[in-house]
Structure 1
Amino acid sequence: MTDDCDPTYGKVDRVLELLTKSKSLHILMVLDRSDSPLRFTELKALVDASSTTVSRRIKELEDNRLIVRSMNPESPQNNLYTLSKDGRDLSPIMQRLFDWAEEWKD
């Protein structure tokens, strides 16, 4: 057995740190289940969190390339949010985590 730590563990730790922040997974799951891009106000209402929390999580998720912000052509001051390719790649893992949590005994 080796004393060296696999660098993948550090990557997993960083992902888990991001995803376990308040409302991060919820935002990602809402975007995953949405048929179309969502405005900030729609996203905020669906995750039932403060504007500050949603704004911070969106910024962090965008900085980590899990969501994409685009301009709303109908109203340029309102941004639209969708999952990025990386966010979509994470989707089945998130869904499996939710499924497992429902089955897990407290």
Structure 2
Amino acid sequence: MISPRKLLPYLLALGLSAFVCLTDAALPPVQAQQIDVDGTETVPAKLDINTATPEQLKSLGLGENYVRRVIAGRPYTAKNQLVSRGVLPQDAYEPIKERLVAHHSS
């Protein structure tokens, strides 16, 4: 039998996970505030794929190779060009598409 003391950390982690899931679901999908990544650089709620730094792109969960491909393919006129140009596969694009924009310079 597992002692309650050994079980407590797992129960706390489970409760915290449930709390995070519930609070994330209650938030609107886009927030205007800045997100502090590492204490020195802030990442906008929506990243412009034409101007985002490698660190900002990595903060979306993109790997080093995808980050290089996104930067090499600039400029973009629409965020879906990441898929249509073959820069990212659809399954890598789907989870982050709501956090991206493609502003074009005039």
> Which structure dedicates a bigger proportion of its chain to helix?
1
Is TM-score (shorter-chain normalized) higher than 0.5? no
Q: TM-score with structure 1 length normalisation?
A: 0.29
Q: TM-score with structure 2 length normalisation?
A: 0.29
